[in-house]
C-alpha cells in the first residue's frame, strides 16, 4: 500500500481565469467536509524573492527574462520544505499557480522548453492540476486586467498554447467563463476524491 499523505492540488490558468476565486470557495467547502486543507500561492510576494518578482510584474524593475525565471523557481523552492512537512502530516494544499506557470510564461517568450523545465525539477509533483480555461477575450474584460506585465491578449494567447503542451493525465481542464458556483461544482468532487485517495494511500503519488 502507498504511504498516506495529504494531496497537492494545483490550480493553473491564464491571468484572471479565476484561480484565486475558486481556491477560496473550494477551501471553504473542503474544510466544512472536515478535511485538513490549506492554501498557497505562487509567486509568494511576501519573501525577498517575491518582492523582486512583484516589482518586476508591476513593471517597476527591469530584469533579464532568464533571471526572472530562476527567481520564480527559487520562490517555489523556498516553500519546498514546509510543503513537504504539511503533506507528510496529512495536510492537503491547494496551490494557486506552480511550476507550470513558470514554464508556460517563460517559454512563451521564445525560450527553449527544456531549459525552462530545468530549475523546477525535483519540486513535489502535484496529484491533480485543475486548469481553468477561458478565452483571452473573456479574460481581458475582467477587473484588474492589464495592471501587470503579461496581461495583454497576444501574450496570453501564446501562454495558453504553451499550457496545452504541458498537460498530462493528471490535468483536469474546466471551462471557467461560467458562474463561479458552476465552476466550483465541477472541480470540488475531483479535489475531494484526490484528497481522500492520498489520505487512504490508494493514489499513486508523484
Q: What CA–CA distance (Å, rounded) separates 183 from 19?
A: 11
Task: Tell me the torsion sign for CA atoms 78, 80, 81, 85.
Answer: positive
Does residue 108 bind ligand T5A (CB under 6 A)? no
Q: What CA–CA distance (Å, rounded) separates 72 from 99?
A: 8
Does residue 150 bind ligand T5A (CB under 6 A)? yes
Q: Using the minimum distance from each CB to ligand T5A, give the nearer residue, 61 or 202.
A: 61
Q: Which of 92, 176, 184, 194 binds ligand T5A (CB under 6 A)?
A: 176
Tell me how far, at minimum, the Cβ of 45 lies from ligand T5A, in Å.
Answer: 7
Indicate which of Na ion, ligand T5A, none lies near residue 74 (CB less than 5 to 8 Å, by partner kind).
Answer: none
Tell me which residues touch ligand T5A (CB under 6 A): 13, 15-21, 42-43, 57, 72, 96-97, 101-102, 105, 142-144, 150, 176, 178, 180, 183
**Residues near Na ion, by CB under 5 A:** 15, 148
Amino acid at each position: 500500500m502507498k504511504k498516506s499523505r495529504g494531496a497537492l492540488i494545483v490550480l493553473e490558468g491564464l491571468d484572471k481565469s479565476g484561480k484565486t476565486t475558486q481556491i477560496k470557495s473550494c477551501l471553504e467547502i473542503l474544510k466544512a467536509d472536515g478535511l485538513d486543507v490549506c492554501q498557497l500561492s505562487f509567486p509568494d510576494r511576501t519573501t525577498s524573492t517575491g518582492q523582486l518578482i512583484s516589482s518586476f510584474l508591476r513593471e517597476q524593475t527591469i530584469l533579464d527574462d532568464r533571471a526572472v525565471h530562476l527567481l520564480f523557481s527559487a520562490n517555489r523552492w523556498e516553500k519546498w520544505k514546509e510543503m513537504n512537512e504539511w503533506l507528510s502530516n496529512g495536510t492537503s494544499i491547494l496551490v494557486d499557480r506552480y511550476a507550470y506557470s513558470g514554464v508556460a510564461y517563460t517559454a512563451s517568450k521564445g525560450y527553449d522548453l527544456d531549459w525552462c523545465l530545468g530549475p523546477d525539477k525535483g519540486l513535489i509533483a502535484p496529484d491533480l492540476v485543475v486548469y481553468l480555461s477561458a478565452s483571452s477575450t473573456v479574460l481581458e474584460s475582467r477587473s484588474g486586467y492589464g495592471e501587470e506585465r503579461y496581461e495583454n491578449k497576444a501574450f496570453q494567447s501564446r501562454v495558453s498554447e504553451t499550457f496545452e503542451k504541458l498537460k498530462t493525465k493528471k490535468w483536469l481542464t474546466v471551462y471557467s467563463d461560467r458562474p463561479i458556483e458552476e465552476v466550483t461544482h465541477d472541480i470540488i468532487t475531483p479535489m475531494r476524491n484526490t484528497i481522500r485517495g492520498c489520505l487512504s494511500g490508494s493514489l499513486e503519488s508523484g
